[in-house]
Amino acid sequence: MMTALEISQNLTLARENTMIGNYQNAEVLYIGTLEMLNRFMKTISEPSRRNHWEEAQKKISLEYEKVKQLSQTLQFFRVKTKGDIPIGTRRFYRDEQPVRDTGDLNLNDDDPDVWAPPTPVEHNNFRGNGPNKSRISNVKKVDTKRKDSRVVSSTTGRRSDAKLKSTKKEERPSSSKSDRDQEPVEKKEETEEKKFECHGMDRELADTLERDIVQKNPNIKWDDIADLHEAKRLLEEAVVLPMLMPEFFTGIRRPWKGVLMVGPPGTGKTMLAKAVATECSTTFFNVSSSTLTSKYRGESEKMVRLLFEMARFYAPSTIFIDEIDSLCSRRGSESEHEASRRVKSELLVQMDGITANNEEPGKVVMVLAATNFPWDIDEALRRRLEKRIYIPLPSLEGREALLRINLREVKLDPEVNLADIAEKLDGFSGADITNVCRDASMMSMRRKIFGLRPDQIKQLPKEELDLPVTTRDFQEALMKNNKSVSSEDLVKYEKWMNEFGSS
């Protein structure tokens, strides 16, 4: 269980990073704080306490927005220096990850509940500059060329599917001269990219969806995810293979309508969904159910319809619905409940609809859902989520792998014994381990800046702050961070999986 203390510690870290101008880390920490707060708030039912926390959430969101803006402004200059993009043409999207110095932290930067408000320019010009323009950008391409100007070149227009496919093949990462020479040709291709047009439906809603939910480059690969071999294998079989060889998965072998990932929070369910989308280069629709039921109040069912329509249009697609339990949740006000109910009915209708569609080769749409509260999911929805996979807490071996992944960008004292630390992290989730690593890697910096004023902190040489992480740092981090999943919860998952699981 998340505690207020942990949240405040994370917030302190975010602020500390901001103070020393480490905005990219600060951003990640703010996102982490907001994510923790979100989870924490779900456990509060008393209205006055809830209001109090909502206030805090608003304030932190504002703070985060400011830091983000600052960071984006700096990023803008950085990009300009590299000569990629002329000033004035670059736009930032929620799914466009800034270049980070600490690779371990970039895994957590994508809370669908915390979206940047669209800038007026972005909004007005969206038709010509939406994220969709580079939907077919291959993930691998962006991996090696993050600041690829093609990602931000503006586009509109339509073209046939055949053409879409041919472009897909041609887009490969390369920095060779001959490839660079060809860039104008590629750019031209991209300007002709297939574009979703909504017929008679609310266009603005479609724009919003494209901007906020279509995620081109989740950029998480199987190898970025520690452990979970069985889950990866099952997902490959249930989702990836039907996408790769749709002809085979017809009739009795039709793909599952939906796959549900069940497990304690922070075990990598979102990462797995992203990896699925990355590994089979599908268009990734990243939706959180609480977003569907709150952010677009009144428009929610339309939104669900549009979501599926878009997914079919851009097929093959993966629709990832996080926190799917909240669609069935009885928490909150009456109206919230009513909205959830309507969204859920629409979702059921749409999921039934994709079965027929999936028979068409190359047009597969896969629904991938995740929940930390499977027992809240009612029968109708559960039935549509035919395949149910358990995502467990990491094993000993997995914990060590997680430590390695998390610490790959920081210097480690040679004395540090990761196997020992992994042993001590028994019962910790992947996210808990990430928090421990983050905390440990900040310890020396914290000691250095303790009691100093911001101007003094600014003057500290970078080398003095960037010291190797020691065993002591880990010990301190371990004292501060507790596991977030209780053994009672684990028993509950086990029981549910025994009854309803299908892996």
Name the site residues for ligand ADP (rule: CB under 6 A): 107-108, 225-228, 265-271, 370, 402, 405, 430-431, 434
**Residue of 308, 380, 287, 299 whose CA lies nearest to 350:** 308
Nearer to ligand ADP, 255 or 266 (CB): 266
Tell me the residue type at 387.
K
Spatial distance between the Cα atoms of 114 and 29, rounded to a whole number of angstroms: 13
Nearer to ligand ADP, 163 or 480 (CB): 480
Residue 77 CB contacts under 8 Å (≥ 6 apart), including other chains = none
Least distance CB 482 / ligand ADP (angstroms) = 16
Least distance CB 225 / ligand ADP (angstroms) = 4
What values do phi and psi take at 157, rounded to 5? 110, 170
Contact indicator for 209, 306 with CB cutoff of 8 Å: yes
Spatial distance between the Cα atoms of 491 and 122, rounded to a whole number of angstroms: 48
Least distance CB 385 / ligand ADP (angstroms) = 16
Tell me the residue type at 360.
E
Nearer to ligand ADP, 271 or 440 (CB): 271
Nearer to ligand ADP, 208 or 290 (CB): 290
Taking each helix axis as running N to C, give the angle between helix 430-449 and helix 471-480, from 0 to 180 degrees, rounded to the nearest 10.
Answer: 110
Spatial distance between the Cα atoms of 99 and 104, rounded to a whole number of angstroms: 12
Which ranges of 43-174 would DSSP assign to H, the alpha helix?
47-81, 120-124, 126-129, 139-144, 149-152, 161-170
**Residue of 310, 297, 340 whose CA lies nearest to 215:** 310
Nearer to ligand ADP, 85 or 367 (CB): 367
Least distance CB 154 / ligand ADP (angstroms) = 31
Least distance CB 107 / ligand ADP (angstroms) = 4
Spatial distance between the Cα atoms of 114 and 356, rounded to a whole number of angstroms: 34
Least distance CB 42 / ligand ADP (angstroms) = 12
Nearer to ligand ADP, 42 or 194 (CB): 42
Nearer to ligand ADP, 107 or 364 (CB): 107
Tell me the residue type at 146.
R
Least distance CB 493 / ligand ADP (angstroms) = 12
Nearer to ligand ADP, 132 or 219 (CB): 219
Contact indicator for 154, 188 with CB cutoff of 8 Å: no
The SS3 of residue 439 is helix
Least distance CB 302 / ligand ADP (angstroms) = 27
